[in-house]
Structure 1
């Protein structure tokens, strides 16, 4: 895998394929934990000032952040100074950054690219971050692929016997799948959002935090554990539908 992209070659940083300039600390952690592997790393801007960066590295089930400072054309990390980022990466690919509390050595193994073949990986973090900040689906990136992902438990009403059962839901691309339990590999059913005409709050049920999804053959009634969680599901689902309509 190449470390560099084909963008502006006048500045090494601008040509770095794993430089996620404006990615926040929270989003970096979500990205690496959700889609990276042990040793995956990326560089991002630090809020400590100009020429200050943060190297975020996944170490098994956590993400460690290290300060990196640009000094003229070199990069300073702790007591080490490197002429360029290539030397920096080469050094720490062969020498551990440090040992964690559990004795695990942290080594740079694979750069997490800014551009990935599956846009949903990066867009899902951007969508989640936007929703967490209280913005609506209308505030999300207009030209972003409608590929955000989400998962969690929802309570679903049965089709024939109108009882309510907890199910594990996963949303990926245009597929909303639900499983009997989180550990199950095969879904009970897969709903294609391209056939969904509306997602809206529902107050007809004797339950709180409910919303419904309207399909030609059936309307699905779902309830979340909290109003915040329900709002996140609705915003993301509506955003996906809006992107689908734009593509028609």
Structure 2
């Protein structure tokens, strides 16, 4: 997977790096590190900002931070540091593995995450919301990324008593699925505790497309997304959460 067509030596250098994940997306990197990595796991990947731009993704407990790495004619620029070669860049991690986060704590680059691993299909479907913060100080170079597994959007919900369908704004954070009358409302109509949910799956019993259901002891909730892809994303991310809930029991 050559990234620089005119600099084969750089290609060889990057491709020989066991933790360079080529075109792995930001979202997939977060899913990969949070699902299979551990605190301090890190990897290098291409950045969407174009040739010569990379991102170092690091797991810090229950979130993933992203740092800009730029390939220049003189070597690699990482924060305020520049390295003449990739070997110097790697040695920096081995000898000075601490990075300050926005909370004042330290992130330790403990172990590279190898790219030669089997990646579950969930990484291609799950979308998470992240925000990158940039600036002129080292703390400004740290990403503010919410925990993997957050999602929000409009879904159409079947009423419990009056069997009509109404659009609601849903947010998923940690083990709570909340729905609101609309996006601008602060107070949810209801909060669903996913620790009590036994299953989530596509549903074909209703005369609607892109429908799925969440099964709780007292009730089954029927929801419809605007597309099959969107419904699949909701199902996969909730299943991911349910699997982690069961592991913790």
User: What TM-score do you get using the length of structure 2 for normalisation?
Assistant: 0.50
SS in 1 for 2:233: helix
| 1:5-44 equivalent positions in 2, closer than 5 A | 22=21, 26-27=25-26, 44=44
Q: Which runs of 5+ in 1 are unaligned?
A: 1-19, 32-42, 57-64, 86-109, 117-128, 136-145
Q: Which residue of 2 aligns with 1:68?
A: 71
Q: Which residue of 2 aligns with 1:149?
A: 150
**2:213 is the alignment partner of 1:208:** no
The corresponding residue for 2:197 is 196
Establish whether residue 239 from structure 1 lines up as the match of residue 230 from structure 2: no
In the TM superposition, what is the alpha-carbon distance from 1:46 to its structure 2 partner? 3.9
Q: Deviations over 1:153-174 (max 9, x none)?
A: 1000111100000011111110
**1:37-186 correspondence to structure 2 within 5 Å:** 44-46=44-46, 54=53, 67-69=70-72, 75=76, 131=122, 133=124, 148-186=149-187
TM-score using structure 1 length: 0.51
Contact kept, 8 Å, 1:197 with 1:214, in 2: the verdict is yes
Alpha-carbon separation, structure 1, partners of 2:124 and 2:148:
19
Cα distance in structure 2, aligned partners of 1:217 and 1:158: 14
Determine the C-alpha separation between the residues in 1 that align with 2:226 and 2:167. Answer: 10
Distance 2:106 2:226 in 1: 34
Q: Is the 8 A contact 1:44 1:54 kept in 2?
A: no
Asked whether the 8 Å contact 1:44–1:53 carries over to 2, the reply is no
Aligned-residue Cα RMSD (Å) equals 4.6
Q: Deviations over 1:186-236 (max 9, x none)?
A: 111100000111111111111111111111111110001101110111111
Divergent runs of 4+, >3 A: 20-26, 43-47, 74-77, 80-85, 110-116, 129-132
| 3-state secondary structure, aligned to 1:217 | coil
How many residue pairs get matched? 162
SS in 1 for 2:53: strand
